[in-house]
Amino acid sequence: MTAPNSPAPGSKMDRGNPPSPPPRTETKLSERRHEKVPSGADDLARRLRHSLDKPLASLTLTDNRSTILSARPSPRGLAVRVHRSFAGAPDPVVEALAEVAAGGRHRRAALAVVREHFRRHRPEPPRRPHRASAGEARGRHFDLAEIRDRVNQAYFGGLLDVAIAWGRAPVPRRRPQRRRTIHLGTYRADLNLVRIHPVLDRRGVPLYVVESVVHHEMLHAAMPATVVAGRRRLHTPEFRRRERLFADHERAQAWIEDHLDQLLAARYRR
């Protein structure tokens, strides 16, 4: 998230998101496969359909480490996308998947089962030789892990799985920067990591401002960049629509604009 001093907030793109969306395999359930050993998606689709009380239109296995599961109603039934690690999951986990996907009454308990399975079976993020350490989520004033968990429950159905940490304040530049913008948050897809600028970990910064920046970056984890005419687009109209769903979005934007001078003055390490 970027706070410019122009009246159009967040018009600058975030940096540090790597290219290439993860590969996906889709199983159209109408297709008959004649393989002796069903692929993971076919098998999971069959078992999901058994547990679901509504039709399953499609099942997509993804490598998206940040979104465990999404389910979207379509004319032909539920379109479900789920992380690859659920292929071959034991029956109780598949039943829990179905409960969460269908939004059933026992969704909360089922979600715990789904998350626990994912926690134990998710792939390790790629290792980076340096600068890969996630850093601290607990700051002097705000605990980002706590904030992420709350935002996750309220806006992502508890289904987003992202790491979060305070970034390090940059060292002052020799020549003062002319640019009057500050990156209050970034999302690194390769590390599946949200970083928040430490300038927000200060007395006087309202909680809803930190929550708003966290929400924005978590949206990037939930909505991979789309490529339009060869250009990667992050802040699509749909992104902006979902960004405004955050309850204090307007208030947070206004606070950031009103306090941009203080934020810019305090951005460097001392």
Q: Which residues bind Zn ion (CB under 5 A)?
A: 14
Q: How far is the CB of 14 from Zn ion (least distance, A)?
A: 4
Which residue is closest to Zn ion by CB? 14
> Which SS3 state, helix, strand or coil, does residue 156 take?
helix
Which amino acid is residue 138, in one-letter code? R
CA distance 164 to 134: 7
Q: Rounded to whole angstroms, what are the CA distances from 226 to 133, 231, 240, 245?
A: 28, 8, 14, 20
| Nearer CB in complex with Zn ion: 65/216 | 216
Cα dihedral: 27, 32, 35, 36 (round 10): 110
Q: How far is the CB of 19 from Zn ion (least distance, A)?
A: 16
| Nearer CB in complex with Zn ion: 52/218 | 218
Q: How far is the CB of 127 from Zn ion (least distance, A)?
A: 26
| Nearer CB in complex with Zn ion: 14/201 | 14
| Nearer CB in complex with Zn ion: 69/214 | 214
| Nearer CB in complex with Zn ion: 24/240 | 240
> Which SS3 state, helix, strand or coil, does residue 7 take?
coil
Q: How far is the CB of 122 from Zn ion (least distance, A)?
A: 24
User: Does residue 163 contact residue 191 with C-beta atoms inside 8 Å?
Assistant: yes
CA distance 125 to 133: 12
Q: How far is the CB of 199 from Zn ion (least distance, A)?
A: 17
User: Does residue 221 contact residue 192 with C-beta atoms inside 8 Å?
Assistant: yes
